[in-house]
Amino acid sequence: MITKLAVTNRTRGTSVAANADIADTSEKRRRGLLPRSEFPAGEGLWIVPCEGVHTFGMKFPIDVLYLNKKRKVLKIRPEMKKSRISFCLTAHSVVELPAGMAAQTGTVVGDELEIEKRQVAE
């Protein structure tokens, strides 16, 4: 069994990522999405703690949602292309999504997200 996350926009009642991973160790935060060659809809990565991300070495654009400790969206960096850096110094964590998912789910600054852990078979 492995741990996956369901990320829901509680404000809008939409699923943001049904099958997200968590980067909660130094090694996982450093690696992030770099080893991946694709990032399909429904997937995501919650990086905690985190105030900034980069896309150097990435193979695809991403949406970046910066959250406070209560998981309220503080900032959105939509469709962040490769070789870029983004920060939100007041953020506690970041949710990385496939490019366009923030707009597709109607997620905007001020929305509250719910992040639930679940166990799935490998």
CATH label of the domain that carries residue 20: 2.60.120.1140
pLDDT attached to residue 5: 97
Q: Which two tokens stand for residue 106?
A: 């109607």
Torsion sign, CA atoms 71, 28, 105, 52? positive
Cis-peptide, bond into residue 40, ω within 30° of zero: no
What is the span of the domain harbouring residue 59? 2-120
Q: Where residue 121 falls among pLDDT bands split at 50, 70, 90?
A: confident
The Cα 52–Cα 93 span in angstroms is: 9
Average pLDDT, the chain: 95
pLDDT attached to residue 80: 98
Local structure of residue 81 (DSSP, 8 states) = P
Alpha-helical runs (H) found in 1-122? 26-31, 101-104
Q: Number of folded domains in the chain?
A: 1
Local structure of residue 19 (DSSP, 8 states) = E
